Structure 1
Amino acid sequence: MTFKRIAILVLLAGLSTACTTPSVSSQRIERTLVKRGDVQIETISQGKGPVIVILPSLGRSAEDYDEVARLLATDGFRVLRPEPRGIGQSKGPMKVDMHAFAADVASVLDHENTGPVVVVGHAWGSQPARMLAVDRPDLVRGLVMAAASAGKLPPGSTEKPYGRLREAIDGSGNLALPESQRLTYLRQAFFAPGHDPRPWLTGWFPQAHEAQAHARDITPVDAYFAGGSVPILDLQAQYDAVVVPNVFKPMLGERVTVQVIDDAGHAMAPEQPRAMSAAIAHFARRIYAQ
């Protein structure tokens, strides 16, 4: 084989490799800071394509969705994960209502110039997600309510909204408790039977937890319950011990689609990241095609 032919083959091989690695470059993770007055929001971003925003659960970081975000980015989406105040480099006044948490997300989307996007709110994150859809309808075209407590209850229910397993939810992130007690709480509130709750022994941010609970308690549920008028995916977990299921659709009608993730509890993301990401991607494609 001549030297010239070898050189051509090497060049073609390099071109072939370059053509098959865009998914690798799409996984480049960036962290940016957006400042608005005395508020600073850190955002984890990766991927290229239509935007999906993920808002984390009570007192926990956007890093819980590392695998979900990776899968979505591989699937052709740009994923933005704003860290709530009190987590990472995000900071600001902590005695605020749900409108303020929604405004933090809006500042990130305005900075990115995204236009209307699909927003995923996991557990507590469903509340600022819905608030954002109410306060800034120009920024939201669809909502995914992942393991989301609706904040309202079916007619005739005697439960208290956001009241299920309150001791276990709050105790799971109480770092002053013995590890054995926290594991018991994690099993009760967050993980499906047979799943290891140890990954969630860490990753709790008590100051953020307190601020988010305060915002939930002082903001009327009716201010954000409906999430504006956009389509909603009610993404339920088969073994969710915290959420009262099937509240959204009876109250909000046909704009709500219900899907259940098998073998998952309230934590969902560490238990079934592939199923969670696939459900989000399917919904997002439908919304962006409209």
Structure 2
Amino acid sequence: MSFETYELTRTDRAGNEIVLCGRKTGPAKGHPIVMLASLGRPGGDFDKVALALGETGFRVVLPEPRGIGGSSGPMEGLTLHDLADDVAHVIKDVPHAPVTLLGHAFGNRLARTTAADFPALVTRVILLACGGLIEMPVEARKALIGCFNADQTPEAHLECVRYGFFAEGNDPALWRDGWYPQVMLMQSGAVRRTPVEDWWGAGGQPMLVVQATEDRIALPANAQDLKKRFPDRVTLVELPHAGHAMLPEQPGKIVEIMSQYLA
């Protein structure tokens, strides 16, 4: 099983051309899953999970955000609704849509916005590290910002990655690279310009929430709030020995949880 690349173009409401690039794997007729990456991170973060799901018959699509991997377009003054338009354009190109839409960390906000704005394109939402309501502690925020600071020593940078993203004992070097500061600024601005109530409920879609037990950034209280508010459509599964990164820490377990849910 291997990845194939794709490229799409669209025009936004202001007449700007947007190029959307990414990769996909799995059988063309498999149930489609579109995966949205963490803040300032590439779609490659999902590679192990995507390949494993592709082997079991799913069609997995990994779009890159504007600013990564050939994707391009305006980067200033955006909202999550603008970025959800990008995701919707990708989904419309996927055979056998509607899709299961997965979002990790920042991607969970974008996944829920897309589900709310384009309910006909999404059958259910899977959220990994679903923060956005309960604020992270100050030290975790410093570590998150530090991950995008290229002026510090490699040792200091890796310590930010370790503290902010990885559970105790897990190897932060797995995410030593892959940090895109300009993409982070674009996405962070989009979050600030979009009211939480626009996307928190994911437009009424069923949700699987996978909550890492050692996540210092997307605190477990966020997942618990979702389950409390929407008990009939939220399935909450805890993931031990994982932090905010989650994907490089427990890829096999994530595939197992997703496969059981999607079955």
Whether TM-score is above 0.5 comes out as yes
1:103 is aligned to 2:85: yes
Q: Mark the structure with the bigger radius of gyration.
A: 1
Q: Trace 1:175-254 onto structure 2 (pairs within 5 A).
A: 175-245=150-220, 246-254=224-232
Q: Which digits, 9 at most, give the CA deviation of each residue in 1:146-194, with x for residues without a partner?
A: 0110x224xxxxxx37977211111112222111111221121100111
Once the two structures are TM-superposed, the CA of residue 113 in structure 1 deviates from its matched residue by 4.1
Tell me if structure 2 keeps the 8 A contact 1:29–1:46.
yes
Could you tell me which residue of structure 2 aligns to residue 6 of structure 1? none
Measure the CA separation in 1 of the matches of 2:139 and 2:101: 25
Q: Which digits, 9 at most, give the CA deviation of each residue in 1:86-137, with x for residues without a partner?
A: 1111011112110111111110111224421111100000011000111100
Could you tell me which residue of structure 1 aligns to residue 262 of structure 2? 284
Equivalent residue of 1:39, what SS? strand
Whichever residue aligns with residue 82 of structure 1, its letter is: P
User: Are residues 122 and 186 of structure 1, via their aligned partners in 2, closer, same or farther at CA, if it must alter by over 3 Å?
Assistant: same
1:51 is aligned to 2:32: yes
User: Are residues 60 and 137 of structure 1, via their aligned partners in 2, closer, same or farther at CA, if it must alter by over 3 Å?
Assistant: same
1:270 is aligned to 2:248: yes
1:145 is aligned to 2:127: yes
Could you tell me which residue of structure 2 aligns to residue 69 of structure 1? 50
Could you tell me which residue of structure 2 aligns to residue 122 of structure 1? 104
Q: Which digits, 9 at most, give the CA deviation of each residue in 1:1-44, with x for residues without a partner?
A: xxxxxxxxxxxxxxxxxxxxxxxxxx231110110021111121
Measure the CA separation in 1 of the matches of 2:206 and 2:64: 25
- Listed as ranges, the gaps of 5+ residues in structure 1 are 1-26, 154-159, 286-290
Measure the CA separation in 2 of the matches of 1:45 and 1:101: 19
Once the two structures are TM-superposed, the CA of residue 236 in structure 1 deviates from its matched residue by 0.5
Once the two structures are TM-superposed, the CA of residue 261 in structure 1 deviates from its matched residue by 1.5
Measure the CA separation in 2 of the matches of 1:132 and 1:43: 18
Measure the CA separation in 2 of the matches of 1:146 and 1:253: 18
- Listed as ranges, the gaps of 5+ residues in structure 2 are 12-16
Could you tell me which residue of structure 2 aligns to residue 19 of structure 1? none
Could you tell me which residue of structure 1 aligns to residue 21 of structure 2? 42
Could you tell me which residue of structure 1 aligns to residue 14 of structure 2? none
1:29 is aligned to 2:29: no
Once the two structures are TM-superposed, the CA of residue 244 in structure 1 deviates from its matched residue by 2.1
Aligned pair partner of 1:134 in 93, 116, 130:
116
Whichever residue aligns with residue 277 of structure 1, its letter is: V
Once the two structures are TM-superposed, the CA of residue 284 in structure 1 deviates from its matched residue by 2.0
Could you tell which deviates more after superposition, 163-172 or 190-199? 163-172
Measure the CA separation in 1 of the matches of 2:121 and 2:25: 19
Q: What's the TM-score, normalizing by structure 2?
A: 0.92
Percent sequence identity is: 37
Once the two structures are TM-superposed, the CA of residue 252 in structure 1 deviates from its matched residue by 2.0
- Structure 1 vs Structure 2 CA RMSD: 1.4
Could you tell me which residue of structure 2 aligns to residue 12 of structure 1? none
